[in-house]
Chain A
Amino acid sequence: MEFPILSLMLAIPLAGAMACLFLGAQSARMVALVATLLNLVLGIVLWMNFEIGGAQWQFVERAEIFAGFSYALGIDGIALMLIMLSVFLMPICILASWDAIEKRVGEYMSAFLLMEVLMIGVFAAQDMFLFYIFFEAGLIPMYLIIGVWGGDNRIYASYKFFLYTLLGSVLMLIAMMWMVNEAGTTDIPTLLNYDFPPAAQTWLWLAFFASFAVKMPMWPVHTWLPDAHVQAPTAGSVILAGVLLKLGGYGFIRFSLPMFPEASEQFAWLVYILSMVAVIYTSLVALVQNDMKKLIAYSSVAHMAIVTVGLFAFNVQGIEGAMMVMLGHGLVSGALFLCVGVIYDRLHTREIARYGGLSINMPKYALFFLLFTMASIGLPGTSNFIGEFLALAGIYKVSTLVTLVCTTGIILGAAYMLYLYRRVAFGDQKNADAAAMPDLNAREWAMLAPIAAAVLWMGVYPESFLAPMRQDIAALEARIARAAPDFDADNVIGTPREHNANYVAPAHGEGHGEEGAH
């Protein structure tokens, strides 16, 4: 058996989480940072050793230590990329909380490390029930993070977050039980190739959809997200936007599409409509926000809608694009929340009108903020451009109308992001206290610079990220090809006319008689 690197990646933050509970503030911070950095190193080792074009499932581990399900881990390229995103953002989150969190630091760090364990677990699980346990368990630390260290309205937000997502996922559990009962296995790779009867697929798809649509979040079940984002501490928002929202998309890729291809096709219209509404509606809502975090939260909903249309395009471009949007959005929206956090730590308000002209007194900050704003808009050369372009190219092969509407959303995205940037960074220094804020310190540099580098890397050379996923996405596409919807604007090959357009029918009825003789 090879070295159990995935288990180690679960064990290190878990041990750190246990230790942090008993440590004082400063040592808890150090332990958390060391544990997350160790996991980042392990993540890089994982990526280096991932054999592109090799076996579909690598680093497989399996232990039959539970009844009814197994401790089975293993990753493909898609899971690898999402694990990388998690371990990359985690140390940054710890840094972001370094000074901002003052009370109950040990418990805070413990909750974050536990969160990391569960997120890696979700992406690495190869057993359906193990996946569910990790998936659902994430509610506990997030509930505490929002509820204990959140803003003024944190209790409402924490309840809403918890109950919304719980209600979404319990029905999925029943669907999973039915599937396991039907297929006789809990092993995800086996289930990926099991053909459920199309009639049952409908119900199963809906049950999974209830869960993933809430996690995603899709309009109209997105309302927990702005509340949770606004109330959560900065690092909580980063993790929420950066990784937790990706669970929904990952669920669609891992379960809904390959396990229920027919039902996915059957409900594709539903996904398209919800996504189209989301892109336009939430972009318009974002445009009128006064609260920076809320604005970015609504923009997340819009971006996630691009992910869903990409996924349900049923072709390689669409799915690759969806994955790239997820990765890019994870970095960019995380970074935008960090940018908000940086100025929030100084002025303790998220109200846009309280800032202004920051590019004068905080030029370095303004530069980073500009980069991430542009990346969020999807400017070529940044990560989001690749994803959005591919996703829209994918959906164009299915529906031109959906493409039209979603592209409009991207223009609206540019509108609200540029408007935000103008109000915060440009213009006059209206407020004296905002004008007196110091520029980035070394810790903030250390948070923003790696993300900026990653955003540019992904924008300039996306191949590094697409290569590990290519084979898995191709396999997925082959799996769902049988149900792929038709192209709405396809050239319809009609029956050829009998005659040229300028043909003049003979005056007599003889012509008909002649044709009948052919």
Chain B
Amino acid sequence: MSYATSLYLTGAEIGLSLTGLVLLLVAAWGGTKSARLLTMVSVAALIGAAIFSIGLFDRATSEVAGRAFGDLYRADAFGSFAKILIYLASAAVLVVTPRFFAQSGSYRAEYPVLLLFNAVGMGMMVSATDLMTLYIGLEMSSLSSYVLASFLKQDGRSSEAGLKYFVLGALASGIILYGVSLVYGFTGSTNYEGIRAAFETNFSTGALFGVVFVLAGLAFKVSAVPFHMWTPDVYEGAPTPVTAFFASAPKVAAMGMLLRMAMDPFAGEVDSWRQIVIFSALASIVVGALGAIGQQNLKRLLAYSSINNVGFILIGLAAATQAGVAASLTYVAIYVAMTVGSFTALLMLRAPDGTNLETFADISGLSTKRPALAWSLLAVMFSLAGIPPLFGFWGKFVVFQAAVQANLVALAAIGIAASVIGAFYYLKFIKVMFFDEPTREIETTSPLSHWAVLAICVAIISPLGYLLTIPLGEWTAQAAASFVAAM
């Protein structure tokens, strides 16, 4: 394997890093004035990286199985699929960001740069096939996330969110690192293939501890119960565009990392970790649903909703089959569209004086004031609740089907019954928007960029999305086949 091949396979990350570095210089000299330009360049770079990843999707598997730098990094179909989602989600979130900060005059040129470096880290997370690469990617992404969470320096809640995220995130990183060191100690390898081979010959109790610690740390990153406590606070405190970002791209990255970790190095020990995943999945679904019921703040509610959704994604992992991983990826893809759509709609809710609206009382009677926005939110909410014919149903459908095919019928039955609890608070959204009388003034126009992002998301989750089921099924199956053998 030549060095050039390695560089080619990591092209997306390298391109993003270089763009980030150049933009950093521009930001240093250009100051806040250049923020708008930087945002546009960053969006272009992210879309470019996504297109590059699409190009790698088919090819990488043929060439040295996409291994780069001595199998520290693998640009396989799985990594490419996750990266496409990550880059597109980041770009979409970046498009709707500036307007939020512009109103308080706090938008600065560092924002897009931080997001770019975050994207590099996320790309590494999903492609890492070595514990060291994994950890570097994870920290790169996490550190920029902590800064982003506290981006509104003057706002106490934002700083609080940043601090909370940092302290708890550091704890999780520590747990992962501890697990990693145990795994390394018992296997003598940091490479995924090496670990897998070593576990096959000998899986001791100490190694089991390592696996559990690593999975616990990753559960924190995907905000699965019982490591979810930070999510509502951080989501509520962070500026709304940052919350939108947290709920979309880093979720994909963390989920991708978890899927690869569980099904590649730990694939031989499914029976050891399956019960943990099952517990976490069901607990996430239930806690995510029950926790959301009393919430008045929409961002907090969406935080619980994301916990709830992670539970469903984990059901695909609990199946521990190729179909299960493919199902989780399908769910993640649809989840990204729903999340970006819901937060974009949230960003479009502003009072005439420019303050952001983010409680239930603010959106009451929205359907009479802004029917198009209300109908879009209706589609997003029914989709999140998993009601057909919206596309969110398909995500639930494939994960539950994977569970049933893996003979986890009881898990599927309990999970789907618990999803009815979740439907309750999504319905509340619709009830408030459609059934209640309007109480407050609301801005009547939104910029075209927001509409464009929202329209794309709603088009994907509308029944038209079902036309995507065949290609989506093929892509996710191919992605899952990168490291999971078919049964």
Question: Using a CB–CB distance below 8 Å, which chain A residues touch chain B?
Answer: 21, 65-68, 104, 107, 129, 132-134, 136-137, 139-140, 143-144, 147-148, 154-155, 158-159, 162-163, 166-167, 170-171, 173-174, 177-178, 181
Contacts and interface: CB of A to CB of B under 8 A. Distances in A.
Given A107-B367, A147-B435, A178-B409, 12 more contacts: A65-B466, A67-B469, A137-B389, A139-B387, A144-B434, A148-B434, A155-B431, A167-B417, A170-B417, A170-B420, A174-B404, A174-B409
A284 B118 CA distance: 67
Contacts of A166: 387, 420, 423
Nearest to A180: B401
Contacts of B401: 68, 177, 181
A163 B420 contact: yes
Contacts of B431: 147, 155, 158-159
Contacts of A68: 397-398, 401, 469, 473
B423 A133 contact: no
A148 B366 CA distance: 13
A181 B434 CA distance: 40
B413 interface: yes
Contacts of B472: 67
Contacts of B416: 170-171, 173-174
A104 B367 CA distance: 10
A67 B470 contact: yes
Contacts of B367: 104, 107
B435 A177 contact: no
A171 B417 contact: yes
12 contacts: A68-B401, A68-B473, A104-B368, A133-B388, A140-B382, A147-B430, A159-B424, A167-B417, A170-B416, A170-B419, A171-B417, A181-B401
A187 to B, nearest CB: 17
A439 B318 CA distance: 66
A11 to B, nearest CB: 13
Nearest to B386: A170
B170 interface: no
Interface in B371-398: 371, 375, 382, 387-389, 393, 397-398
Nearest to A132: B388
Contacts of A66: 466-467, 469-470
Contacts of B389: 133-134, 137
A295 B430 CA distance: 30
A307 B467 CA distance: 38
Given A133-B393, A154-B435, A167-B420, A162 B413 contact: no
A143 B427 CA distance: 9
B417 A158 contact: no
A162 B420 CA distance: 10
A135 B218 CA distance: 38
B400 interface: yes
Pick the 8 closest A-B CB pairs, nearest first: A67-B473, A67-B469, A133-B388, A177-B404, A170-B416, A147-B435, A67-B470, A137-B389
Most chain A CB within a 10 A radius of its CB, from B409, B424, B435, B470? B435
A167 B466 CA distance: 24
Given A65-B470, A133-B393, A140-B382, A177 B387 contact: no
Contact of A173 (B398, B400, B405, B434): B400
In this complex, the member of A68, A107, A134, A148 whose beta carbon has the largest number of chain B beta carbons within 10 angstroms is: A68
A106 to B, nearest CB: 9
A273 B143 CA distance: 64
A155 B431 CA distance: 8
B84 interface: no
Interface residues of B, number: 35
B410 to A, nearest CB: 10
Contacts of A134: 388-389
A67 B468 CA distance: 9
B412 interface: yes
A159 B431 CA distance: 9
A137 B470 contact: no
B345 to A, nearest CB: 18
B81 to A, nearest CB: 16
Interface string B51-79: 00000000000000000000000000000
Interface in B412-448: 412-413, 416-417, 419-420, 423-424, 427, 430-431, 434-435
A181 B404 contact: yes
Contacts of B375: 21
Contact of A137 (B387, B400, B427, B434): B387
A148 to B, nearest CB: 6
Please indicate which of the listed interface residues A107, A162, A171 has the most CB atoms of chain B within 10 Å of its own CB: A162
B388 A174 contact: no
Given A155-B431, A173-B400, A181 B469 contact: no
A107 B424 CA distance: 23
A66 B466 CA distance: 6
Contacts of B393: 133, 136
A66 B401 CA distance: 15
A158 B417 CA distance: 19
Contacts of B405: 177, 181
B435 A163 contact: no
B400 A174 contact: yes
Contact of B400 (A65, A107, A177): A177
Contacts of B467: 65-66
A163 B389 CA distance: 17
A163 B470 contact: no
A163 B423 contact: yes
Contacts of B368: 104
A103 B472 CA distance: 41
A137 B388 contact: yes
Nearest to B393: A133
B372 to A, nearest CB: 10
A67 B434 CA distance: 34
Contacts of A137: 387-389
Contacts of B419: 170
A159 B387 contact: no
Contacts of A67: 469-470, 472-473
User: Which of B398, B401, B417 has the most chain A CB atoms inside 10 A of its CB?
Assistant: B401
Contacts of A159: 424, 427, 431
A325 to B, nearest CB: 29
A171 B413 contact: yes
B34 to A, nearest CB: 42
A155 B368 CA distance: 17
Contacts of A167: 417, 420
Nearest to A179: B404
A185 to B, nearest CB: 14
B394 to A, nearest CB: 9
A140 B387 contact: yes
A391 B212 CA distance: 61
B466 A174 contact: no
Nearest to A106: B371
A137 B390 CA distance: 8
A29 B416 CA distance: 39
A259 to B, nearest CB: 17
A178 B404 CA distance: 6
A378 to B, nearest CB: 37
B486 to A, nearest CB: 16
A144 B469 CA distance: 28
A65 B371 CA distance: 32
Interface in B453-477: 466-467, 469-470, 472-473
A21 to B, nearest CB: 8
A26 B434 CA distance: 22
Nearest to B410: A174
B401 to A, nearest CB: 5
Contacts of B473: 67-68
Contacts of A148: 434-435
A7 to B, nearest CB: 14
A154 B435 CA distance: 9
Contacts of A104: 367-368
A134 B388 CA distance: 8
